[in-house]
Structure 1
Amino acid sequence: MEKRFSTLELEINERVATITLNRPDRLNAIDSVLIGEIGEVLQALEEDTSVRAIVLAGAGRAFSAGFDLKESAEKNYTTTAQWKAVLRKDFDFIMSFWRCRKPVIAAVHGHCLAGALEVAVACDITIADSTAIFAEPEVKFGSAVVSLILPWIIGPKFAKGLLLTGDDITAQRAYDYGLVNEVVDAGEHLARATKIARAIASAAPGSVQLTKSYVNRSMDIAGFTSALEAALDGAIILESTQGPERIEFNRIRKADGLKAAIEWRNNQK
């Protein structure tokens, strides 16, 4: 695929495609442009018979800080219809990794927060280096989790511990929870993810894709997709009503900037 992108880089080598989120100045925050470019790339890679596995990584200091709060604040969504449209788009972005016919391996370092954590969990395999930090801080400022995959992967107890506190956890704790498959030394996440991707690429592609699809199908039989859709409906209601915490977060952001608002959020006791 010969095309330059503004928010990501794509490299294909030895039947493995590596997608690198490339907004390092924004900690690879996920904006509408990135969502569009990822959609285009994943569709092309699914159709490319020379590609058998995909690695997803982040440039700079982090995998990703999650959805771009600055962009959403500038859009100033207020109505239920507006929130429904944007959250559906965010939800489908996250789930595109789950639904991709070809296996996707997330290579995580640094911060992996909120929507980015959901992306990492939606990938088939997740490798984290020792610098990785995971969190779903939405409850701290009255927001909602877009795609509630976490309970299905790590169980309701561990999921509630993360989701109800908004606290962050280390790579080792994420491994203990079953959120990641392996923890490697700092800086080794991409090499390890690529090695796994090449092992997958050496297997029979039809068998690999069928196996992935039926593992996912077993989750659907248990109610996976229906539960996520129900949680999305709840997220739309929460975002469109905006409680006092979200109002205060937005007030501080407008008055003093996003950094001050995030500091306020993180200091809530």
Structure 2
Amino acid sequence: MIRTETEAGVRSIVLARPEQYNTITPELRDALGRAIEEADADPEVRVILLRADGPAFCAGYGLDWSTRSQAAEDSSERVWDSAADYRVMSSFVDVYMKLWYAAKPTIAAVHGWCIAGGTDMVLCADIVVAGESATFGYPPARVWGTPTTAMWVYRLGFEQAKRYLLTGDEIPARKAAEIGLILECVPDDRLLDHATALARRMALLPGNQLEMLKLLCNQTAENMGLSSTRTLGTLLDGVARHTQEGRDFVATAASVGFRQAVRRRDDPFADYGSRTTHSNGAPR
């Protein structure tokens, strides 16, 4: 699920499910949480670098297990339990937020798909650097979800956040850098070296300085209400998955397969997996 490397004060945490496009599972969640905690506690580590193996950084939640889980829930005689749903989703959100609340700076180096739940994760990093192949976006905004970590407005501001959440449109890496969703976009063949060099440059500072400066910057978002926004995002994600439209999406996935359900959702927009030039992953 996860492998780690340490050099020059930088702990690399690598998502290692390349054949599955690093889609999110409970097992990946748990392994990532442990890796971040261990890096944050290691006195030899000053900066944490998150990256991924394979053709995609993270294509979102694994729709195979998540749609099956809701299908079983929907067939139960009990009505949807919003409190239980919130607890389950919070177990994922709390792990992503470890990137934000880690005392040490966190950098994400992104290539390929980083969409849906992948953005819930990666936008919690302090800094995001992307290769030219990277694509961001939140297609579940169209049906079956809302951003749980709710980082979009804090990174983009109201206009751009609404522009992309109210359509679910994909955002190529260069556009993402232009509108401020990420720090910068570099050629794919330079991504690893570029992100590593930035992490090592940060690691030249004393660890206590890095921790104080990160805390100072992040406190601005906290004062703006990040915690309450995140709570609302996590709750509304559950609501969105249990609207009639959300239940219909799950039923379609059960009937024709989750890849076809996603394709039917995205075909009217002609993006993500619906474009013939993009067929990697199943965004959720």
Q: Is TM more than 0.5 here?
A: yes
Asked whether the 8 Å contact 1:142–1:244 carries over to 2, the reply is no
Tell whether 2:253 aligns with 1:259: no
Asked whether the 8 Å contact 2:68–2:254 carries over to 1, the reply is no
The one-letter code of the counterpart of 1:202 is L
Q: Distance in 1 between matches of 2:83 and 2:20?
A: 28
Segment drifting more, 87-96 vs 199-208: 87-96
Q: Distance in 2 between matches of 1:182 and 1:234?
A: 31
- State which of 34, 41, 60 in structure 1 corresponds to 2:28: 34
Query: How many angstroms does 1:40 deviate by?
Result: 0.9
Residues 46-104 of structure 1 deviation map (CA, whole Å, 9 limit, x = unaligned): 11100111111111001101122222122234432331122111221221111111111
Q: Distance in 2 between matches of 1:26 and 1:56?
A: 18
Scaled by the length of structure 2, what TM-score is found? 0.88
Matches within 5 A, 1:36-115: 36-76=30-70, 77=73, 78-115=80-117
Secondary structure in 2 matching 1:51: coil
The one-letter code of the counterpart of 2:133 is T
Segment drifting more, 73-82 vs 36-45: 73-82
Q: Distance in 2 between matches of 1:158 and 1:131?
A: 21
Tell whether 2:244 aligns with 1:244: yes
Asked whether the 8 Å contact 2:58–2:115 carries over to 1, the reply is yes
Q: Which runs of 5+ in 1 are unaligned?
A: 1-6
Matches within 5 A, 1:72-221: 72-76=66-70, 77=73, 78-221=80-223
The one-letter code of the counterpart of 1:251 is A
Q: Distance in 1 between matches of 2:189 and 2:122?
A: 17
The runs of at least 4 consecutive aligned structure 1 residues that moved more than 6 Å come to none
Asked whether the 8 Å contact 1:23–1:59 carries over to 2, the reply is yes
Q: Distance in 2 between matches of 1:201 and 1:109?
A: 23
Task: State the partner residue of 2:278.
Answer: none
Q: Distance in 1 between matches of 2:266 and 2:180?
A: 25
Query: How many angstroms does 1:145 deviate by?
Result: 1.7
Task: State the partner residue of 2:280.
Answer: none
Secondary structure in 2 matching 1:202: coil
Q: Distance in 2 between matches of 1:156 and 1:17?
A: 34
Identical pairs, percent: 28
The one-letter code of the counterpart of 1:102 is K
| Count of aligned pairs between the two proteins | 261
